[in-house]
Amino acid sequence: IGEDLKNELADELCASTPGFSLLKVKEQMFYKVGLADAVDLFRTRRVFIKDGFAYVPFKEIDVIVLNNYRTKLSKALALTARSLPSIQSDERLQPLLSHLSHSYVGPDYSIQKNTGRISLEQIDALSVKSFPLCMRQLHRALRDSHHLRHGGRMQYGLFLKGIGLTLEQALEFWKKEFIRGKVDADKFDKGYAYSIRHSYGKEGKRTDYTPYSCMKIIMSNPPSQGDYHGCPFRHSDPELLKQKLQSYKIPPSGITQILELVKGMHYQLACQKYFELTHDVDDIGFSLNHPNQYFTESQKLLSGGRELKKEFNNSGNYQQKNNSQESINSAPTPTSSNATADTELEGLEAYFTED
Ligand code: SF4
């Protein structure tokens, strides 16, 4: 409602809205909604009613939206249940339907504006500050053993590409690390370099491969012994996950909350909680469904897009924020919203089979 009407009804709004003073009435927005939509608020005497309308304060509007959503959802579910038998009998629709709950329809993060703006020297610090747990785990394993098996190289390599590593940087990054282990430069150039060029669309079918979404990581190709890919919230033993979180200095109450979410199979919510705890924010402010989205949001936050009280230092401990906060800023900007079919990756995976 407009200011004029609000001023006119100020006394009534104040008297009929629990916890509201005249000053608060002036500050808050009110919505005029049909009585039928505000039955719950009306029943508990929490709104002012006049001429068949309820005057709902902003802080209560979520109840109305929720009821509306619930009603629409029930109708849609009833309709779906009725139509399902005939849809399922159509064999053209069957594969589409069974894939629907696993498909990712968000930004694909394969094209970035910040390509080349990350230096290789920044990756260690970024892995602590802005990588989700899955990528932090892969980065640590790579640094420790100077090798990753093909599942890890796929998951981590495409993530790095998504955060802005150029092909030349990717070749240098992987080569430097691998030749510190058991792979010599010649073997790297002949085997692994080809697969990296391939993932950047420079070989074979020249497909520009898309970084994996959370759904893909959680639902497919679970890690075996010696693998570090996958989602730690989904694939790690809870006791090992707990130890890992402790080593990253997550407070005990936070670990308990994360483990509760994991127990309820809410892996992405557990990851969101990890984001909140490592960035010291109360509300993550977005719905997480992609590791590159995690990185983007983290960088936005650390570069001052949102208020931040503390940040991590390199060893993973909290330290008070100072003004010389390092940031690469300009995170990838989503440019398309295609759901990449698994089949698109088949060619690439073939090139990563060598362990
Ligand atoms: Fe990575 Fe997604 Fe799992 Fe988080 S929820 S650890 S981003 S796969």
Taking the CA of residue 232 as reference, the ligand 1 atom at the shortest distance is 6
Question: What's the rounded Cα separation, in Å, for the pair 199 and 273?
Answer: 31
Comparing CA positions, the residue from 5, 74, 62, 16 lying closest to residue 37 is: 62
* Cβ proximity of 128 and 326 under 8 Å: no
The preferred substitution site among 245, 273, 294 for testing ligand 1, maximizing ligand atoms within 8 Å of CB, is 294
At 353 the pLDDT is 39
Tokens representing 193 are 């370099």
Alpha carbon nearest to ligand 1 atom 7, residue: 291
- pLDDT score at 298: 95
20 lines ligand 1 (CB under 6 A): no
* Structure confidence at residue 306 (pLDDT): 53
3-state secondary structure of 119: coil
Q: Which residues contact 35 (CB under 8 A, 6 or more apart)?
A: 42, 49, 52, 53, 54
Q: What are phi and psi of 103, to 5 degrees?
A: -80, 150
pLDDT at 301: 93
| CB of 271 shorter than 6 A to ligand 1 | yes
pLDDT for 321: 36
Atom 4, ligand 1: which residue's CA is nearest? Answer: 271
- The secondary structure of 295-324 as a DSSP string is HHHHHHIIIIIS--SEEE-TTS-EEE--S-
Cα dihedral 212, 218, 220, 224, rounded to 10, equals 110
**pLDDT of 112:** 60
CB 267 less than 6 A from any atom of ligand 1? yes
What is the pLDDT at residue 330? 38
Q: Does residue 291 have its Cβ closer than 6 Å to ligand 1?
A: yes
The pTM of the full predicted model, rounded to 2 decimals, is 0.69
List the residue whose alpha carbon is closest to atom 2 of ligand 1: 214
What local confidence, expressed as pLDDT, does residue 209 receive? Answer: 85
Residue 38, both tokens = 């505000």
pLDDT at 332: 39
Q: Measured from the CB, is residue 274 less than 6 Å from ligand 1?
A: no
211 Cβ closer than 6 Å to some ligand 1 atom? no
Contact criterion met (CB below 8 Å) for 238 and 267: no
Question: How confident is the chain (355 residues) per 10-residue block, as mean pLDDT?
Answer: 88 86 86 87 86 89 87 92 85 80 76 78 96 98 96 96 93 96 92 91 83 94 95 97 96 97 96 96 91 94 63 38 37 38 38 40
Say what the pLDDT of residue 299 is: 93
Q: What is the pLDDT of residue 318?
A: 37
